[in-house]
Amino acid sequence: MSKKSLEKRHSETAIFAALYRAVANKEFKNERFGSDYLAEYFFPFPLKFLIKFKMIRVNLKNKSHKFTPGIYEYVLARTAFFDNVFLDALKENIPQIVVLGAGYDTRAYRFQKLNNTTKIIELDISTTQNRKKKCLKKAQIDRPKHVTLVPINLNKESLKNVLEKAGYKNNEKTLFIWEGVNYYLEPESVDATTQFLPVPEQLGRKLSSVRQFEWGRSGKSLAYSSAGEKEEMGCITHWFIRGERSKSCSFCCHSPSS
């Protein structure tokens, strides 16, 4: 797969994740698993209108389950998990939050009233970020002054250099959210990223070994290829806090039992 097509794929996966969140918002309203009330603004009016109807939502979920069993539920659980991580950081007034591969993440907008002083830096490829800006502008949603969108190609550019140019302060406590990104990167890019982030050595080795993320042919297992061997997928998306006491945590998904 060419790097150009890989970048396009990033944008497509971000759109599908936003679609699942938009559908969940109609299903669960603004409760825990349907908290993203802004996700629908990243879609054209016809789709935005259609997902209001339960029959359409059921059809979308059925198709999703047919091709990628469990991914809808996984995205909802992941969103709820990282919502809590993000909110905790705001409550603690952590000076900086860096979102790697932000896609159509809306936490900086949904929770802006709870943000006192935290600077938020969203990183992603320029194609995704430009579309995000256009959609937000069309929806008349202003970007909060504490939010900065910074384009980056992690397969080509240095995370450290890009962050420093964006105003990132290396000496301040920072929350890094790496939500479902590493398996789309080249192994060398994962290595370079983990060297910059406060990643435990054991987890860093595991992340750098990821080669491919794929659904098992049976539709029963969610797996990745690591060092040429297929294994049950464990931790695939993470958050890290760099500060006086650096720590990390992973949101894990294991293959369903047969």
Q: Where are the domains of the chain?
A: 3-252
β pairing state of 147-151 and 229-232: unpaired
pLDDT value at residue 228: 31
pLDDT digits (tens, 9 = 90+) for 225-251: 233 333 333 344 555 666 544 455 554
What global pTM score does this model have? 0.78
User: Taking all residues of the chain, what is their mean pLDDT, rounded to a whole number?
Assistant: 78
List Cβ neighbours of 173 (8 Å cut-off, separation of 6 or more). Answer: 94, 95, 96, 241, 242, 243, 244
CA distance 70 to 13: 15
The HSE-up count of residue 87 (CA atoms within 13 Å, CB side) is 10
Contacts of 166 (CB under 8 A, 6+ apart): 121, 148, 150
- Position 190 scores a pLDDT of 78
Number of other residues whose CB lies within 10 A of the CB of residue 256: 12
Question: Does the pLDDT of residue 65 top 50, yes or no?
Answer: yes
What is the average pLDDT across 15-37? 91
Closest CA to 78 of 21, 123, 128, 127: 21
> Mind listing the pLDDT tens digit for each residue in 157-180?
999 999 999 999 988 888 888 887
pLDDT at residue number 178: 82
Instruction: Tell me the percentage of the chain whose pLDDT exceeds 90.
Output: 49
* Structure tokens, 243: 């500060």
**pLDDT at position 52 over 50:** yes
Q: Could you please state the CATH topology (level 3) that the domain comprising 3-252 is classified under.
A: Rossmann fold (3.40.50)
Dig out the tokens for 57 from the structure.
């939502």
